[in-house]
Chain A
Amino acid sequence: DQLLNRPRSLSGPSGKLTLLCDANTDGSFLVHHFLSFYLKANCKVCFVALIQSFSHYNIVGQKLGVSLTVARECGQLVFLEGLKSSVDVFFRAQAEPHPLQFLREANAENLQPLYEFVREALKPVDDGEAAWRCPVLLVDDLSVLLSLGMGAVAVLDFIHYCRATVCWERKGNIVALVHDSGDTEDEENNILLNGLSHQSHLILRAEGLATGFCRDVHGQLRILWRTPSQPTTQRDQSLTYQYKIQDKSVSFFAKGMSPAVL
């Protein structure tokens, strides 16, 4: 995964929105990578994990070299476990606003409680000691918010508010995963994906191979660097690699250069 990090380091400009996207394949390995990357880099991470349980991320994280339980204990990681919290929210009325409150509501307007949670989680430590480097918000994934009744505009607003706080105010980064539904006519998802693509600085798109399943090449990763705020005087750079996921890492190679073929 070094190839992703070479053109972008933490000492460089931060305040970036990275969009992870998967089409016809499972892009969760990218989420695991970024989680372990930012934890190892000593950043304060707020992880909104809506798809899997804490122990799933923990076990994979251990294979990648980080321990989420340790990070959570010492305050480096704030973990919102969507699946577990949803059960609490749904069956028991909560006294105070819960980040996943929209599950109980018929027509939830916006994701404000979730935004408040993120803002609270990433607020700077008061004693002035910068224990951690830049704050990071990681979301896995945004498409599930659409399935839970939020509109695409509400999710885009949420990301907008998070960007204002995390990226601009606190000079942190945001990484979010969105599924690309491809040819199924999921309009809300397309709106969300297009809207985020225009705002992102870096887009990592994992695609299944057009020819179908292959044991040695699991898919193709397209990397696109963008500068959304400036007029595009320079062309956006993009690279394409093919990858194979292994037990503890992912190996990347140029198209057609899989070790199985050579």
Chain B
Amino acid sequence: MAAVATCGTGAGSTGSVVAAGSKNHVTSFQRRGPRASGSDSSYSRLVSIAGTRPSVRNGQLLVSTGLPALDQLLGGGLAVGTVLLIEEDKYNIYSSLLFKYFLAEGIINGHTLLVASAKEDPADILQELPAPLLDDNFKKDFDEEACNHKTAESNIKMKIAWRYQLLPKMEAGPVSSSRFGHYYDASKKMPQELIEASKWHGFFFPEKSSSTLNIEPCSLTHGYIKLLQFIQNIIYEEGFDGSNPQKKQKNILRIGIQNLGSPLWGDDICCTENGNSHSLTKFLYVLRGLLRTSLSACMITMPTHLIQNKAIISRVTNLSDTVVGLESFIGSERETNPLYKDYHGLIHIRQIPRLNNLIYDVSDVKDLAFKLKRKLFTIEGWRGRSFPNLKI
């Protein structure tokens, strides 16, 4: 891959010296090249994790967000070790759908899940995950939708791939965990046996809030401290950070946190303007520190439209890696606007990280709209009435 070829020739030998001396911790930003510091076994171990693939641009390990269209907009997927922040739409309808797609993708790929919520019991959230689409049903539905799709292009051409239909990805047989990115049927539930076969940890804040605190009081709210300790515990116990040589982890931990920042977590930034302005940002910083040093990826949904202090929103954006905003048309004047009649809302890609690179993948199409048609969540470039819509 071109990304590997650009590695410098220096530090090849010194890299391995450093690795032998220091603790063998896994960072998700290890290079995928043969000269990766450490041994070749760590290289092959990282590559063979189900449900991941290396990015074309910088060799970064990626996981799917559960929506192949969103993966392409984000440059191939969500990078392991980063945070994807979803700014919720007004009634938290579509953002919770994206949240469920993310978790469902984890179950299909066999990843370990960590679901944190202050509103719903994680066990209930898992019961409501959408079912994966099998090929024969999907092809029928998708053929009716497709109008101007081009022929299959390989996954290598990520720069122009967004123009093409995603149909080629589904052509190889029924749902299997070796594929990257799956489609889900929002009207059906995930089969119970798949949920039971998966490994997951739930954090339901009302249950955990009663236990005592064993950390000095800092400006984080109680809920955030407990959540951080829980996450850190799972990462450490199950070996996602590579610190425990006995537990060689070959899996990704998918962390999903719902409605972060809402009053249900004990944070008051949605209620007053002069609330605890550092709690959420400190939480995000330490969370990102945890993610960078472990094999995990995190999706957070946050009701930013409720946050009173706008400065916090910009700080939160700076502290997250990828930020996507959802704006649904429900209840707004756009719902009856004929320009928007085919769509349910707009999607704004607010920030994409530049990881290990000076540049980053950015889609040329800036106005994006989404719709939940029949069972599929599709994202399209929206150009208004006079231009044809570009399907992604």
Contact = CB atoms under 8 A, between A and B. Distances in A.
Interface of A: 26, 28-29, 32, 53, 55-56, 59-60, 62-63, 65, 67, 69-70, 73, 82-87, 90-91, 93, 103-107, 143-144, 146-149, 179, 181, 184-189, 212-213, 215, 245-248, 250
B386 interface: no
* Among A85, A93, A184, A188: residue with most chain B CB under 10 A: A184
B281 interface: yes
A148 B218 contact: no
Name B's interface SS.
loop
Contacts of B311: 181, 184-189
Given A63-B8, A103-B286, 17 more contacts: A53-B81, A59-B29, A59-B357, A60-B357, A62-B8, A65-B8, A69-B11, A84-B289, A85-B289, A87-B289, A90-B228, A104-B215, A106-B217, A147-B278, A181-B314, A187-B311, A213-B362
Nearest to B6: A63
B30 A55 contact: yes
Contacts of B310: 184-186
B253 to A, nearest CB: 15
Contacts of B286: 86-87, 90, 103
Contact of A143 (B11, B217, B318, B359): B318
A55 B7 CA distance: 12
Interface string B286-298: 1011101100000
Interface string B1-40: 0000011101100110010000000010111000000000
Contact of B314 (A26, A86, A186, A246): A186
Closest 9 CB pairs of A and B: A186-B311, A147-B281, A62-B8, A83-B289, A59-B356, A149-B278, A55-B29, A87-B289, A86-B289
B366 interface: yes
* Among B7, B218, B313: residue with most chain A CB under 10 A: B218
B11 A247 contact: no
B282 A148 contact: yes
Contacts of A187: 311
A182 to B, nearest CB: 8
B293 A87 contact: yes
B285 A246 contact: no
A73 B355 contact: no
B29 to A, nearest CB: 4
Contacts of A146: 315
A248 B241 CA distance: 31
A99 to B, nearest CB: 14
Interface in B168-208: none
B364 interface: yes
A69 B36 CA distance: 13
A103 B253 CA distance: 25
A135 B385 CA distance: 60
Contacts of A184: 310-311, 313-314
B285 A144 contact: yes
A215 B217 CA distance: 47
A188 B274 CA distance: 13
Contact of B356 (A60, A85, A93, A179): A60
B229 A28 contact: no
Contacts of A26: 354
A54 B286 CA distance: 16
B95 interface: no
Interface in B238-285: 278, 281-282, 285
Nearest to A86: B289
Given A87-B293, A146-B315, A147-B285, A73 B14 contact: yes
15 contacts: A59-B357, A60-B357, A62-B8, A69-B14, A86-B285, A86-B286, A91-B228, A103-B282, A103-B286, A106-B216, A147-B281, A147-B319, A179-B318, A186-B315, A212-B366
B213 interface: no
